[in-house]
Amino acid sequence: DAGVIQSPRHEVTEMGQEVTLRCKPISGHDYLFWYRQTMMRGLELLIYFNNNVPIDDSGMPEDRFSAKMPNASFSTLKIQPSEPRDSAVYFCASSSGGNTIYFGEGSWLTVV
Amino acid sequence: AQSVTQPDIHITVSEGASLELRCNYSYGATPYLFWYVQSPGQGLQLLLKYFSGDTLVQGIKGFEAEFKRSQSSFNLRKPSVHWSDAAEYFCAVAAGSSASKIIFGSGTRLSIRP
C-alpha cells in the first residue's frame, strides 16, 4: 500500500512568495492532519479534516495559512505570503476512524 | 485541555543497556496513547498504541510501554537497545470527541553509546 504522499519534499522560496504544499492521504482514510515541526516548538497540529471537512483549525498560526481538502484524496496547505519564520518541516498524516495516524515523509520548507 | 509531557530532552544509553523513556499525559477521560519514532529526515513511525485492555502493550522493534492510570504515565521501554534505535521518540495522546485530535509531546532524543 502506498503511504501518505507529500509534495514537494523540499522547497526553498523567497520571503513574500506563495507556497503550496500538497498531500495525498492513504486511500480509504477519512481523517487528514497537517502538522508543523520546528526545533523551537516541536510538532504542532495545525488543522485536521474529517470527510473533507475542517474540524479544528485552532492551530493555524495566522491568516497567512490556509488549508483545503477538495476531495478525499487530496489536500493543500498554502502560505501566502511566506515569511522566514515559516521555515519548518510540514507533515501530512491520515487515519481511519480518527486515531493511529500515519505520517508522510514531510515537506521541508525554507523561506529566505 | 489535553497535554503530553516528555521530561527528558536527550538521553544517552550504551548499546545493549535497557531503556526507559518517560511520558506523562493530562486528559480527563481515558486517553488513547501512542509512541512514535522519527529517524533523521524521516516522518514519524508508529511504535505502539494503547486504547484499552491490557496495560502493557507490545510494539515493533522490541519496544513495550505500560499505561499507569494512577501516575498518568505511559513510559516506553526496551530491554536491550541497538545502535539503530538512535532516533527521536514522541509520545502522543488522542483526545477530542472522537479521539481524533492527536497531540504530541516535545520528544526525547535517544543517542546510543557504542
For A29-62, the pLDDT digits (tens) are 999 999 999 988 889 999 999 999 999 999 998 8
A13-22, A48-57, A97-106: segment of lowest average pLDDT: A97-106
Q: Say if CB B48 and CB B57 are below 8 A apart.
A: yes
What's the gap between Cα A91 and its chain centre? 5
3-state helix, strand, coil in chain A (%, to 5): 5, 55, 40
How distant is the alpha carbon of residue B18 from its chain centre?
Answer: 15
* Least confident span in A38-42, A104-108, B36-40: A38-42
Find out whether A10 and A107 touch, Cβ atoms under 8 Å. yes
Judged against a pLDDT cut of 90, whether residue B28 lies above it is answered with no
Q: With an 8 Å Cβ cutoff, are B100 and A45 in contact? A: no
Biggest distance spanned by C-alpha atoms of chain B? 46
Residue B100, chain A, CB below 8 Å: the answer is yes
Measured between CB atoms, does B97 come within 8 Å of chain A? Answer: no
- pLDDT of B6 above 90: yes
Would you call A43 and B51 a contact, using CB atoms and an 8 Å cutoff?
no
> Percentage of residues in chain B with pLDDT exceeding 90?
72
